[in-house]
């Protein structure tokens, strides 16, 4: 097979270590760039057969045309999320593959870490004891047992999360467009409407994809339907939540706490060190003032197992493409319609 070359954007040290290890069996020529892909950095892709992107890289019509002009043949997303890609502009011009799953356990377990930390205030206790303050006032939590958790999105991550929550002996309500009745019976949970989930849940976890139907699904109106003192956890996508409405809910104490591994405008901050700068995003700055808000920088996926799986699947996707094999992980905007040819030919177009 030809010595194909790949330009990696938005790379970190852990990417290089993981991909270099896996690439020993593929033999691709890889060039790592620390920059995000954007119109200013897009010229770096010249001379490469493929580009590999991460979750916060944006691929619009302009960048797609630039890639096509220089014979970039495929975009390999090393993430499950793909909302940054303009698929309509890409269709018929350039193939797009992704990593549909890398460790659903990693994300589900991070959901639990956020829940437990917020509930028992361990983040606050840590800083107190570091200052020799052993006062426990303000650190009161609640028993998870018999509380009701609402899981929005019961795919692979959601199902693992549900199993963990059942281990706490919690009542679980789930919302999913495609309810799994066998799983419902097996786990002793209940698939319900969003309205009921909002009304009855003590904790709500967002584990669904971002699309037109889920954009700002947590908003002023949905928050008003929720139980007083609800905890909200988001490890899905930042735009699932209208952050201004979340702040209003926190200020009014309708929302008791929030755990966010994602944020609407995270691409300007997440994955980078800005400790010597002032946060110019007023909304993010406001969130950081709440001691009942826990923000992590999109690290829910970040385990040894997940990083290894991402490298394995990403390079296998590319190897299959250049070998002319079926692309199981290709995606296009027609994938849910009969016009997508992947089932017939092995590729979307």
Each residue's pLDDT tens digit, 252-275: 999 999 999 999 999 889 988 999
Residue 71's region, left for phi above 0, alpha for psi from -120 to 50, else beta, is left
The pLDDT of residue 348 is 95
Where the chain has pLDDT below 50, the residues are none
**CATH architecture label of 5-102+304-345:** 3-Layer(aba) Sandwich (3.40)
**According to CATH, what is the number of the domain 104-295?**
3.40.50.720
- 10 Å CB burial of residue 128 (0-12, 13-18, 19+) is middle
Helix (H) or strand (E) holding 258: strand 255-260
| Angle, vertex CA 319, rays to CA 49 and CA 326, nearest 5 | 110
Task: Outline which parts of the chain fall under CATH 3.40.50.720.
Answer: 5-102+304-345, 104-295
Which residues are registered as beta bridge partners of 76? Answer: 52, 97
Note if the pTM is more than 0.85: yes
pLDDT reported for residue 1: 56
- Give me the active site residues, please: 237, 266, 298
Closest to 322 measured CA to CA, from 49, 46, 135, 56: 49
pLDDT at 41: 84
| Residue carrying structure tokens 């028993």 | 143
pLDDT reported for residue 196: 98
The predicted pLDDT at position 26 comes to 96
pLDDT of residue 40: 81
Give 177's DSSP letter.
S
**DSSP summary character for residue 41:** T
Q: Are strands 203-206 and 255-260 parallel, antiparallel or unpaired?
A: unpaired
Query: Cα(153)–Cα(164) distance, rounded to whole angstroms?
Result: 15
Given a contact cutoff of 8 angstroms between Cβ atoms, the answer to whether 292 and 258 are in contact is yes
Given the structure tokens 């929030």, which residue do they identify? 258
pLDDT in the model for residue 87: 95
């Amino acid at each position: 097979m030809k010595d194909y070359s790949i330009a990696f954007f938005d790379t970190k040290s852990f990417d290089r270590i993981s991909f270099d290890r896996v690439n020993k069996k593929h033999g691709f020529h890889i060039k790592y760039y620390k920059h995000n892909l954007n119109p200013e950095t897009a010229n770096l892709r010249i001379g490469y057969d493929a580009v590999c992107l991460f979750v916060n890289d944006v691929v619009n019509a302009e960048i797609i045309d630039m890639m096509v002009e220089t014979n970039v043949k495929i975009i390999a997303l090393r993430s499950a999320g793909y909302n940054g890609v303009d698929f309509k502009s890409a269709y018929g011009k350039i193939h797009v593959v992704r990593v549909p799953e890398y460790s659903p356990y990693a994300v589900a377990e991070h959901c639990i870490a956020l829940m437990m930390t917020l509930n028992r205030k361990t983040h606050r206790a840590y800083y107190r004891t570091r200052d020799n303050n052993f006062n426990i006032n303000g650190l009161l939590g609640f028993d998870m047992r018999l509380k009701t958790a609402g899981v929005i999105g019961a795919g692979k991550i959601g199902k693992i999360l549900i199993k963990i929550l059942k281990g706490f002996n919690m009542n679980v309500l789930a919302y999913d467009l495609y309810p799994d009745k066998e799983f419902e019976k097996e786990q002793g949970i209940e698939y319900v409407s969003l309205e009921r989930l909002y009304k009855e849940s003590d904790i709500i976890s967002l584990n669904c994809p971002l699309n037109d139907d889920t954009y700002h699904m947590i908003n002023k109106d949905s928050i008003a339907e929720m139980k007083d003192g609800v905890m909200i956890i988001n490890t899905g996508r930042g735009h699932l939540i209208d952050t201004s409405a979340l702040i209003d809910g926190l200020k009014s104490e309708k929302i008791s706490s929030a755990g966010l591994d994602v944020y609407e405008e995270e691409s300007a901050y997440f994955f980078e060190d800005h400790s010597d700068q002032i946060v110019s995003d007023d909304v993010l700055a406001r969130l950081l003032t709440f001691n009942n808000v826990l923000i992590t920088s999109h690290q829910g996926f970040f385990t040894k197992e997940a990083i290894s799986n991402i490298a394995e699947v990403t390079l296998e996707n590319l190897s299959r493409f250049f070998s002319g094999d079926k692309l199981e992980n290709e995606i296009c905007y027609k994938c849910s319609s009969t016009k997508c040819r992947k089932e017939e030919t092995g590729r979307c177009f």
